Amino acid sequence: MSKTVLHWSYRDYRNVPIDLFLYENLEEVYLKENFITQIPKWLLNLTNLKFIHLSGNALEELPDDIYYLENLEFLDVSNNKITSLPHTIGEMKSLQRLNVSGNKLTEIPKGIGRLKKLEVLDICANQLTSLPMEMSECSHLNELSMSDNTQLTYIPERIANMQSLQFLAAERCGLLYLPAALAKFVNRVNIFQNPSITHIPMIYETFFASFYDAIQTGMPRNIEHPHFFFVREKANNTKLLLPFGTLEVFHVPSVENRITLYDDCLHSLNYLNFFLPLYKNEILLNSLPTKYMGDHIKNGPIARCTHRNCFNPLYTSYYFMPVKRRNSTSKTIFSCNFCSMYCANLWSKENIKKYYSIEWELCDADD
C-alpha cells in the first residue's frame, strides 16, 4: 500500500481539519501558513504519521502527549508563538528532524538528550539564554542551528565537541567567545557574526573568510561573571576573553612543562565519560576533591590542542599563543592552545610562513 501525503498549506485553516481521519496510511501532512492555534488531541491517534509541517501558524504550545506520535520522524513548528516545549519531547523516539525556530522559547528541556535519532535541530530565532548540557547526548545530531538568539552568551564545549556534528550555526547571538573544542568532523561553521568575540580559535581558521573582518570590530560588552579569565594582547592593548574554566595560561615559549597533575587527572577521567557518562554521576561528582573538578568534567575539555596531529583535550591550564596572518591587513586575532611546548614548537615551525605571534600579558577582568 502506498503512503498518503496531504498538501494543505496556505488554506486559511483555523483548526487542523478532522478530515485527516478519512485518509488511510497517512504519513505526511503539510499544513504550512495557516492560522492553526493548537494541535488537537485526536491528531495524536494518527500514529502512522511520519511527517508534520506546521510552519507559520499560531501555535502557542505543543501537547504533552505529542510523543504518542511514535513514528514521527519530521516535525516543523517553526514561526509559531510557542513559549516552551513539553518535557516529554525526549520520548519522541523516532524523531530525526526538529525545527522550532522563530518561536518564543526561553529554554530547551533537558529531555532533548533522549532523542537518539535526532539528526537535525533548528532552534534559531528564539529567546534562549543557555543550552542544556544534555543536548550533547543526541548522539546522531549532525546539524545544529541556533543563530539569532541574541541573549545566548556561550555554547557549552561539550555540545560543540559532539562526535557526530558536521554543521554548526550560531550567527548573531551574544557569544562572548567561541568554544575551542570543536567537533573533529565539522565541515561547515557559521559562527563569526558575534560582535563581542575578541579572538578566533585556530580550529575555526578554515571556515573564516575575510569578509568577517568587518564584524570583528564590535565593542566587547561588559562582562560581569567573576570567573572569566582574560589576557591582554600588547600590540593593540585588546583584552582577550578565554574559555570559561581557564585557570592558568603559559607563554610560548616557556622553559618547563607546566601542565598540572590536576589536568592530567581530568584528562584521564575524560575517557571514562564515553561509558557512563561520568558527568551525570552525582555520587562521583560529589566525592571529587574540589567542586571545580566536577565543573570541568561536566563541561568537557575547554579546548583541544591546536596541533592537528595531537588534538589532546585541554582543561584548566595550557600554552596560549595569539597570532595574526602575515601579509594581511586583517585585524583578526587567531588563538592557539597547546598541550605542551613540544606541540607549540612543532606548530610554530610548520606555520611560520603564514602566521606571526603577538605578545600578551595577564590582566584582570576590571582592568
Q: Which residue, 103 or 312, is less far from Zn ion as judged by CB?
A: 312
Q: Which residues in the 322-361 window bind Zn ion by CB under 5 A?
A: 339, 343
Q: How far is the CB of 311 from Zn ion (least distance, A)?
A: 7
Quote the radius of gyration of the chain (alpha carbons, Å): 23
Backbone angles phi, psi at 53, to 5 degrees: -110, 110
Q: How far is the CB of 306 from Zn ion (least distance, A)?
A: 8
Distance CA 367, CA 363 (A): 7
Backbone angles phi, psi at 169, to 5 degrees: -125, 130
Distance CA 20, CA 31 (A): 11
Q: How far is the CB of 178 from Zn ion (least distance, A)?
A: 19
Q: Contact 160/184 with Cβ under 8 angstroms? A: no
Provide the greatest CA pair distance for the chain: 77
Distance CA 336, CA 356 (A): 12
DSSP 287: H
Q: How many residues bind Zn ion (CB under 5 A)?
A: 6
Q: Identify which range of 21-29, 104-112, 262-270, 301-309 contacts Zn ion by CB under 5 A.
A: 301-309
Q: Which residue, 299 or 312, is less far from Zn ion as judged by CB?
A: 312
Q: How far is the CB of 271 from Zn ion (least distance, A)?
A: 16
Q: State yes or no: residue 312 binds Zn ion (CB under 5 A).
A: yes
Q: How far is the CB of 247 from Zn ion (least distance, A)?
A: 18
Q: Identify which range of 66-74, 79-87, 280-288, 305-313 contacts Zn ion by CB under 5 A.
A: 305-313
Q: Identify which range of 60-68, 120-128, 233-241, 302-310 contacts Zn ion by CB under 5 A.
A: 302-310
Distance CA 76, CA 32 (A): 9
H or E stretch covering 26:
strand 26-30
Q: Which residue, 6 or 346, is less far from Zn ion as judged by CB?
A: 346
Q: Identify which range of 107-115, 232-240, 266-274, 297-305 contacts Zn ion by CB under 5 A.
A: 297-305
Nearest to 285 by CA among 313, 272, 175: 272
Per DSSP, the three-state class of 21 is helix
Q: Which residue, 199 or 307, is less far from Zn ion as judged by CB?
A: 307
Residue bearing cell 502557542:
60
Q: Which residue, 204 or 338, is less far from Zn ion as judged by CB?
A: 338
Q: Which residue, 279 or 338, is less far from Zn ion as judged by CB?
A: 338
Distance CA 95, CA 117 (A): 6
Q: How far is the CB of 309 from Zn ion (least distance, A)?
A: 8
Q: How far is the CB of 319 from Zn ion (least distance, A)?
A: 9
Q: How far is the CB of 305 from Zn ion (least distance, A)?
A: 3
Q: Which residue, 54 or 343, is less far from Zn ion as judged by CB?
A: 343
Q: Contact 42/65 with Cβ under 8 angstroms? A: no
- Residues at the contact surface with Zn ion, assessed by CB under 5 A: 305, 307, 310, 312, 339, 343
